[in-house]
Amino acid sequence: MPSSKKKLSLVAATAFAVLAGSMTTEVAAKNKTGAVVGGLIVGAAIGAAISSASKHPTTVYVGKKPKPKPDKWTDSFSPKSGIRCYPVQHACYGSDGAYNANWTRKVYAK
């Protein structure tokens, strides 16, 4: 099996020969059909050479999955029993789930 460089040089030589032949036909007959057909043949040959030259590896290596980042919305702390403060929200809530403005001000006031 020829190497990629040999394939490309073979395609280039073929393309030159086809174009040279089509140009003489065009000049002699004043017909553009030969040039069009030659161009299509050369384009197909070059496309085939390029597509076969770019081989992708079949082996794919996959590393370990990265650890997920901690969820900021579930992080909380309790400055006092019955009170939960959430840093993402900059807010504190009582044990019944109601917003506690007093503790929010104490913890997050600047």
Within 10 angstroms of residue 87's Cβ, the number of other Cβ atoms is 13
Tokens 């590393």 belong to which residue? 63
**Number of folded domains in the chain?**
2
What pTM did the predictor assign? 0.38
Distance from the first to the final alpha carbon of the chain? 75
pLDDT in tens, 27-83: 555 677 877 888 888 888 887 777 655 666 666 667 877 777 888 888 899 999 999
Rounded Cα distance between 43 and 48, Å, is 9
Taking the C-alpha atoms of 9, 14, 18 and 24 in order, what is their torsion angle to the nearest 10 degrees? 70
Residue 27, in any domain of the structure: yes
Q: Which domain holds residue 30?
A: 4-53
Whether 49 and 76 map to the same domain: the answer is: no
Residue 93, in any domain of the structure: yes
Looking at residue 72, its pLDDT comes to 85
Whether 10 and 41 map to the same domain: the answer is: yes
Residue 14, in any domain of the structure: yes
pLDDT in tens, 44-55: 888 777 765 566
Rounded Cα distance between 20 and 97, Å, is 85
Whether 48 and 11 map to the same domain: the answer is: yes
Looking at residue 69, its pLDDT comes to 82
Residue 67, in any domain of the structure: no
Whether 46 and 11 map to the same domain: the answer is: yes
